[in-house]
Amino acid sequence: MTHTLHPLAEDYLERLDRAAAHLPRARRRELVDEIEAHIVEALGPEPTEADVRNVLERLGTPEEIVDAEQPAPVARGPRIGTAERATVWLLPLGGFVVGVGWLLGLFLLWNSRAWTVRDKLIGTLLIPGGIATAFQVWLAWALSESCVAGPGDPCDSGLGLGGLAAIVLAIVPIVSAIYLAKRANLNRPG
């Protein structure tokens, strides 16, 4: 802008420009221009020194204005560690360790601050026992299927409802574990 400003206002804008030196050049110029326009509008054509001081005081220091330009720090959330990583593995696979692994996974899940209650319910209720449950369903189905066909009557070797249930029961804990891993953001450094 090309306004003749009071020397106090000129000094203020120079201090603002120096305080904003770390901002991208375009944003720094835009910020200084915005504040200059505000000062010009607030002061009118013939301001007194008291008027200038009042306007500048209401604006705050140049450092405060620049600090307001900084993005708010991103909340990191709770620290993600070994317990959360173990949880993501134990829930789908822990059932194979005499069922105790899955229970340990539940314990770790519910004692972690990395997940919300909703996440914990998903981890708990979507196929208790994890993939071991799917294996047990498949085993029960496979053992109950018997081929009693007569001569010339081939057995149906299709998947059947029990086989399909076993596949779904195997996929759900894996999807649940992936969901929990993403919700806890296990890729970020802990």
150 Cβ neighbours under 8 A, 6+ residues apart? none
pLDDT digits (tens, 9 = 90+) for 177-186: 888 888 887 6
Distance CA(120)–CA(138), nearest Å, equals 27
Q: How confident is the model at residue 190 (pLDDT cuts 50, 70, 90)?
A: very low
Q: What is the CB-side half-sphere exposure of residue 71 using CA atoms within 13 A?
A: 3
Taking the domains of the chain in order of start, what are their residue ranges? 7-69, 82-184
| Angle, CA of 5, 11 and 17, to the nearest 5° | 105
Q: What is the pLDDT of residue 90?
A: 87
Average pLDDT over residues 117-142: 83
Q: What is the pLDDT of residue 31?
A: 92
Residue that is written with structure tokens 């400003």 in the block = 5
Q: Which amino acid is at 39?
A: I
Q: How confident is the model at residue 75 (pLDDT cuts 50, 70, 90)?
A: low
Q: Is 22 helix (H, G, I), strand (E, B) or coil?
A: coil
Q: What is the pLDDT of residue 14?
A: 95
Q: What is the pLDDT of residue 151?
A: 54
pTM for this entry: 0.50
Q: Which of 67-71, 112-116, 167-171 has the highest mean pLDDT?
A: 112-116
Contact 30, 69 (CB under 8 A): no
Q: What is the pLDDT of residue 17?
A: 94
Q: How confident is the model at residue 1 (pLDDT cuts 50, 70, 90)?
A: very low
Contact 119, 177 (CB under 8 A): no
Residue 44 has pLDDT above 50, yes or no: yes
Q: Which residue has the higher pLDDT, 77 or 169?
A: 169
Chain-wide mean pLDDT for the chain?
82
Alpha helices (H) along 6-61? 7-19, 25-43, 49-59
DSSP symbols for 121-189? HHHHHSSTTTHHHHHHHHHHHHHH------TT-PPP---HHHHHHHHHHHHHHHHHHHHHHHHHTTTS-
Average pLDDT over residues 163-177: 84
Share of the chain above pLDDT 70, in %: 82
Q: Which residue has the higher pLDDT, 12 or 90?
A: 12
Q: How confident is the model at residue 76 (pLDDT cuts 50, 70, 90)?
A: low
